[in-house]
Chains A and B, each alone.
Chain A
Amino acid sequence: MLEKILLYLDGGETVKVLAPWALKLAKAFEARIFAVFVVNQATLKEQAQKTKQKIKNLHSNLEEEAWAILYEIEDDAFEENVKISLILEEGKPEERLLEVLKSFELDAMIVSSQAKLDFKELIDRCQGKTLIIK
């Protein structure tokens, strides 16, 4: 039985592919989705070095994009009558995801196979929770 499902979103493409599927799953189980976006500081630093842009500006743009992604799926959830909570975190994605999983006592986590994540770390540390890599 799935009651609370973490859905990790890390960009536009994952929303298009993963979100509709996750909403279907949540609807089937009458589960609540916890949609999570993590602003990764390490990635921002890399981008700043590559693009010569200020981290502050990149951070601001990414945060706005993250909220837009979260509200986009919230709007879809509303249409589908699926309960949803939006969470924006900062830091190392694997750490934040595992923290959210634990603190809200979630049953499962859905991530894209394309996500830039250490899957071994997630599998090792998800403490018997269902991990769906799609």
Chain B
Amino acid sequence: MQKISELLSPPAIILDLKANEKVEVIKELTSILIEQGYITNVDEFFSAILKRENIESTGIGLGVAIPHARTKAVKDIVLAFGRSRTGVNFSSLDGKPSHLVFLIAAPEEKKSEYIITLARLSKLLRNEEVRFRLTQAKTPDEVLKIITKHE
């Protein structure tokens, strides 16, 4: 089972998201994974991730959102991270905008790894120190160091 820090690479980290609306943020983060060759069918992936957003709020509160999808349109489990200075409305139950957005893409057949990745990431991001440090990180490498240290 791969660690969170092994599923996220520096090119998949955006420290200042351009988009400030949920669907646009998801598109901005997905575009990185498309460039990296992880998404084999863009329409199918978007459809899956937006359907999930409709079923549930992926804003887990505390300024964090984890949009995610498990679909045949993905080659392997991978993460992208974006940070929003203004915050994005992911309809979190606590009503707060999300500043830290982690997108998880997983292939259909890797259900257990996908669930464990979601669980580990959610646990990690409930740590107040981790959230604070991620908001302060100046480089993608620093983001990865913070995650590596705390996971």
Residues of chain A touching chain B, judged by Cβ–Cβ distance below 8 Å, are 60, 63-68, 70-72, 74-75, 77-78, 81-88, 104
* Closest beta carbon of chain A to B133's beta carbon, Å: 18
Binds A, one of B13-21, B28-36, B117-125: B117-125
Which residues of A sit under 8 angstroms from B7, Cβ to Cβ?
A: none
Query: What 0/1 pattern do residues 110 to 151 of B give for CB contact below 8 A with A?
Result: 010011101110110010000000000000000000000000
- Residue in A60, A71, A88, A104 whose CB lies within 8 Å of B118: A71
Please, how many residues of chain B have a CB less than 8 angstroms from a CB on the other chain? 18
- Name which residue of chain B comes closest to A34, CB basis: B93
Greatest chain B CB density within 10 A among A60, A77, A81, A86 is at: A86
* Closest beta carbon of chain A to B3's beta carbon, Å: 13
Residues of chain B touching chain A, judged by Cβ–Cβ distance below 8 Å, are 51-52, 55-57, 60, 70, 93, 111, 114-116, 118-120, 122-123, 126
Q: Assess whether A85 is in contact with B56, with CB atoms less than 8 Å apart.
A: yes
- Give Cα A84 to B60, complex, Å: 12
Q: Assess whether A68 is in contact with B56, with CB atoms less than 8 Å apart.
A: no
- Give Cα A65 to B56, complex, Å: 20
- Give Cα A65 to B120, complex, Å: 9
Which residues of B sit under 8 angstroms from A64, Cβ to Cβ?
A: 119-120, 123
Which residues of B sit under 8 angstroms from A87, Cβ to Cβ?
A: 93
- Residue in A65, A66, A70, A82 whose CB lies within 8 Å of B55: A82
Which residues of B sit under 8 angstroms from A67, Cβ to Cβ?
A: 118-120, 122-123
